[in-house]
Structure formats: structure tokens, C-alpha cells
């Protein structure tokens, strides 16, 4: 398993345990996590593997062992997908998605592009992973992202995660480094957020789920919230240029232990 520069071992019990049919490691699909290799295609193949090309997608648990995974396009995760990073608490052992320098489409703040996005995938082939699925996000259950860091630094139109989902969903233990970016997290979807849909599709708002233990550093906005039935707990936003949190076109939003610092709003 990976070791840090200080010689600490990153491997945990989770890395060595036998998992069920839905489990797959991105390493098995060629992802390197070395911060140099473009791992976009490998990670997307891991997400799409065995979930089914059409109709309702099958469950998947996609594991990213410790490392820095360079990506150059939006990663799309489907209905009932779990994306899980390293469970190690050792410094230097986190799993991080890093947006590649000059990645296409992430430079226009008037037309945001997410690094990671949700998609029902109903009756749609996964060979075209773009996220304009024309299906109401109130149908997107069971999606989870846990123990993962994202770095969108230097991309003025980038958003870490566009999280438009329904109930039984969660973001937990997420850190977004958003220096020079538009926003760390968009929870739900609002037309005011500015997304463009060049393929003729659309995005619905969704509504429901838990957002817990999230930190966003810098960006214009830390967390933007829309739609309904959200529970946000232990959210930290710091260093934003416009607002630490923006709640827009939303109802039934519960917020507990929210801390914003070094932001004008």
C-alpha cells in the first residue's frame, strides 16, 4: 500500500477486506493517483462498470485509495453510486481529486462546470457520461460521497460538486480547496447558479439528504444551497470573496453548527 513521505502506511483494513459484487477500486481500471497521470477515463469507467447501460442503474461502490487523482473533465456518478476515499486518518493519506491545469470548460464563471456531478442515468447509456439527463432529481436516491477531497484551484468557472439528489443521500467528510474557483459545493440546483446545457438537456432541483463534516476553503462561494429537505451539519467555509453560504430558492433547510470566516457575507 501507499506510504507517505514520512514513511507512514496509508493502507487500512478497508483496502484489504474482500467486498461484494458492487465494489470496485479505481486502481483496477488503471487509475494511478500519482498526481501526474490523467485518471479521468479510468475513474469514470470504474463508476460505470456493471451499473447497466439503460433503465435503472445498479448499485456501485467505487473506492479511491490514497492518492491525488488528476481529472480533466466532469466525473458523473449515477443513481445508487457510492464514491469513497481512503478511511485512513494518517496525515498525507487522503484521497484527492485534482482538476488538471487548463482543463476545458472550467474557466467561465458565467457558465459553471462541476468537477463531480450526479445523474439518474435512467434509460440512458453510460458511454456518454454528460449529466443533462432530463430526469427529475427527486428520483435520484442512495448516492453517497464520503472521505474525499477536491482541488479546483485556479479554475474560475469550476464547482467542486453539483449535488442534485433525493433522500437517503449524503456528502460526508469532504474538503474542497477552491482558490480562484466559483464555488465549493452546489447542494441542489437553482437556475440562478448559471449552469449551461449545450446538449439540449436540463437539470432539475432534486431535494433531500445529509451534508455533514464539510470544509470549503476560498472560492467566490463556499456552499450554495437550493431545493428542499436538506440537513447540513458541521459545515466550515472560509476565505470566500462573495459569501461563505448562499441559500437560494430553497425551503426546508436545516443547518446546525455552521461556521463562516473571512468572507464578506
Looking at residue 128, what is its pLDDT? 76
Looking at residue 1, what is its pLDDT? 63
Residue 216 pLDDT > 70: yes
User: What average pLDDT does the segment 185-194 reach?
Assistant: 93
Residue 81 pLDDT > 70: yes
Distances (CA, A) of 193 to 37, 186, 221, 224: 31, 8, 11, 8
Looking at residue 95, what is its pLDDT? 98
Whole-prediction pTM value?
0.96
Residue 207 pLDDT > 90: no
Give the sign of the dihedral formed by CA 193, CA 206, CA 215, CA 92.
negative
CB 201 within 8 A of CB 133: yes
Residue 165 pLDDT > 60: yes
Amino acid at each position: 500500500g501507499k506510504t507517505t513521505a514520512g514513511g507512514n502506511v496509508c493502507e487500512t483494513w478497508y483496502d484489504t477486506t474482500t467486498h461484494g459484487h458492487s465494489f470496485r477500486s479505481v486502481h483496477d481500471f488503471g487509475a494511478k493517483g500519482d498526481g501526474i497521470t490523467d485518471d479521468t477515463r479510468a475513474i469514470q469507467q470504474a463508476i460505470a462498470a456493471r451499473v447497466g447501460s439503460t433503465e435503472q442503474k445498479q448499485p456501485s461502490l467505487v473506492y479511491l485509495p490514497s492518492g491525488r487523482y488528476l481529472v480533466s473533465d466532469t466525473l458523473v456518478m449515477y443513481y445508487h453510486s457510492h464514491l469513497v476515499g481512503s478511511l485512513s486518518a494518517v496525515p498525507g493519506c487522503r484521497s484527492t481529486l485534482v482538476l488538471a491545469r487548463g482543463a476545458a470548460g472550467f474557466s467561465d464563471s458565467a457558465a459553471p462546470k462541476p468537477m463531480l456531478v450526479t445523474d439518474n442515468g435512467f434509460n440512458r447509456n453510460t458511454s456518454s457520461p454528460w449529466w443533462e439527463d432530463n430526469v427529475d432529481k427527486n428520483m435520484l436516491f442512495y448516492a453517497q460521497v464520503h472521505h474525499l477531497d477536491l482541488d479546483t484551484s485556479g479554475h474560475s468557472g469550476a464547482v467542486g460538486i453539483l449535488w442534485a439528489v433525493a433522500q437517503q443521500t449524503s456528502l460526508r467528510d469532504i474538503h474542497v480547496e477552491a482558490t480562484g474557483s466559483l464555488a465549493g459545493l452546489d447542494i441542489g440546483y437553482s437556475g440562478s447558479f448559471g449552469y449551461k446545457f449545450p446538449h439540449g438537456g436540463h437539470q432539475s432541483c432534486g431535494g433531500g439528504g445529509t451534508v455533514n463534516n464539510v470544509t470549503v476553503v476560498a472560492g467566490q462561494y463556499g456552499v450554495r444551497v437550493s431545493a428542499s429537505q436538506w440537513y447540513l451539519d458541521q459545515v466550515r467555509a472560509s476565505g470566500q470573496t462573495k459569501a461563505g453560504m448562499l441559500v437560494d430558492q430553497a425551503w426546508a433547510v436545516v443547518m446546525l453548527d455552521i461556521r463562516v470566516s473571512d468572507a464578506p457575507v
